[in-house]
Structure 1
Amino acid sequence: MPTIVFDFDGTIADTMSVVIKIANKFAEQYGYRKIPLSDLPKLREKKPSEVLKHLGISIFKLPIVVRKIRFEMNKEIVHLQAAVGIRDALVNLRENGCVLGILTTNSRENVMEFLKNNDLQLFDFVYTGRAMYGKSRLLKKLMKEKTIPHKDPIYVGDEIRDIEAAKKAGVRVIGVSWGYNTRTALQKANPDYIVEKPEELQDIILNNS
């Protein structure tokens, strides 16, 4: 059975509303636009670079804003909920012999606290790191350090950048439409598969391993 590597924010944890709330909190201080709920459908169709341009966040201010959001997320982690249906999907994959892992730029402390709070201590490993040069390098580093066979892992993520990173790393990728980007946006990045609900993961993974 393959190793399944999951993105965390938006894929395992339902973080979108919290991130928006925190981002809006710092908008005036750092001189970028707030995100009204009415803009969300439009933003979910965009790449990260397009979202930054829309909000008016410069590349120079971005590291500061990201650090602020990450710090505030520490306070919110206790309130975060898991994506609907994800626990049952993870249990089914484990019972069928899959190795489960998380790859994230979120802090390890946040992830471990979230997993504990949501009864999701089902993962064989949690790999965290910075993605200054793209998530593909982080994924390659994970494969090297965990000695995961190059053709073996499947990456599961909710954003266009997740799909692009997996492709650059030579890894099969499943896009999930319950997170940040919409199904239409994900399709443009040409993932191997797209799923609408967590329960679809088992059929795709087990039937295509």
Structure 2
Amino acid sequence: MEWQLTVRGIAFDLDGVLINSIPLMEAAFQHSYKEWVGEGEPPFAEYCTHMGQRLEDILRLMGLPVEMAVLYKKFCLQNEKMVEIFPGVISLLDRLQKAGVPLAICTGKDRFRTLRILERLGIAPYIQCVITSDDVVHAKPDPESLHAVGEKMKLRPEQMIMVGDAPYDVICGRKAGAKTIGVTWGFTSEETLRNSRPDLLVESMEELLQVLLDHTTAPPCHVSQVR
């Protein structure tokens, strides 16, 4: 990969990449599903295949009541301590920050919950830019989110890497013109993620850090926080 000296910023998806929110998401989905739909097994596995998109859009795609979103988000806020940061994330972010590489969050989650989680888990100090589904008209897999990151960090798409755990992250990055890295510890199976054709697939936080350090270079000027 000829990325050296061209990649100057990194955008991370949040859920399944930096944080383990799977237990909370499953519990919230089951809770809201039973309230609005009733009997039957909540199709959480199908829900995971749409991960990366705006919650309301996922519910529409699945033919479920969009009203589930309100109860889902309320349950998540009430039980947010179920969300944990993946081991090695703070070390990874710290190393990248010290290398002078601007870091962003590009997520399909709403802004309120995103900022709460970033603060609670100690991720916020490392992030210069946060773009959520509330900040764009068209959420992932549309490239608008990553274009918004680039505009705020004053970087062209080809100067960025999109790191995600879902096909929609990869599609968003590719459509925007960025490099893409898929991580295998999130919501999506390795086979499904590989079929989305990321530029690179990594299997551990250590491998991700090494790749990012090897293939990024700091911009010529400091990028202040532009959340």
Task: Return the TM-score normalized by structure 2.
Answer: 0.75
| Distance in 1 of aligned mates of 2:31 and 2:67 | 14
Match of 1:21 among 27, 40, 47: 27
CA drift of 1:169 comes to: 1.2
**1:118 matched to which residue of 2?**
121
The answer for the alignment partner of 2:64 in structure 1 is 61
Out of 31, 50, 56, the position equivalent to 1:48 is 50
Matched AA of 1:14: N
Partner of 2:151: 144
Determine if contact 1:10/1:180 at 8 Å carries over to the other structure: yes
8 A Cα contact 2:133 2:139, kept in partner: no
Query: What corresponds to 1:7 in structure 2?
Result: 13
1:127 alignment partner in structure 2: 131
Whether 1:94 and 2:97 are equivalent positions in the alignment is yes
Partner of 1:194: 201
- Specify the alignment match of 1:165 in structure 2: 172
- CA distance in 1 between partners of 2:50 and 2:74 (Å): 20
The alignment status of 1:70 with 2:73, answered yes or no, reads yes
Deviations 1:30-56 (A, max 9, x none): 3275358xx85xx69x7429xxxxxxx
Aligned-partner SS, 1:8: coil
Partner SS, residue 139 of structure 1? helix
CA shift digits 1:124-149 (9 cap, x unpaired): 12222346634122222332344222
Report the Cα distance in structure 1 between the residues aligned to 2:119 and 2:183, rounded to whole angstroms.
Answer: 23
Asked if the contact 2:28/2:75 (under 8 Å) is kept, the reply is yes
| Unaligned ranges ≥5, structure 2 | 1-6, 52-58, 217-227
Unaligned 5+ residue runs, structure 1?
Answer: 50-56
Residue 82 of structure 1: which of 85, 94, 99 is its match?
85
* Cα gap change, 1:48 to 1:79, in 2 (>3 Å): closer
Aligned partner of 1:63: which letter?
Answer: V
Q: Is the CA contact (8 Å cut-off) linking 1:159 and 1:175 kept in structure 2?
A: yes
Number of aligned pairs? 197
Note closer, same or farther for the CA distance 1:168–1:67 as it changes in structure 2 (3 Å cut): farther
Aligned residue number for residue 192 of structure 2: 185
Going from structure 1 to structure 2, the CA distance change for 1:58 and 1:134 (only over 3 Å counts) comes to closer
CA contact (8 A) 1:86 1:199 kept: no
Report how far residue 69 of structure 1 moved: 1.8
Give me the identity figure in percent.
21
CA distance in 2, matches of 1:112, 1:58: 25
| Residue of structure 1 in register with 2:56 after alignment | none
SS at match of 1:88: helix
Structure 2 residue 37 is matched with structure 1 residue 31: yes
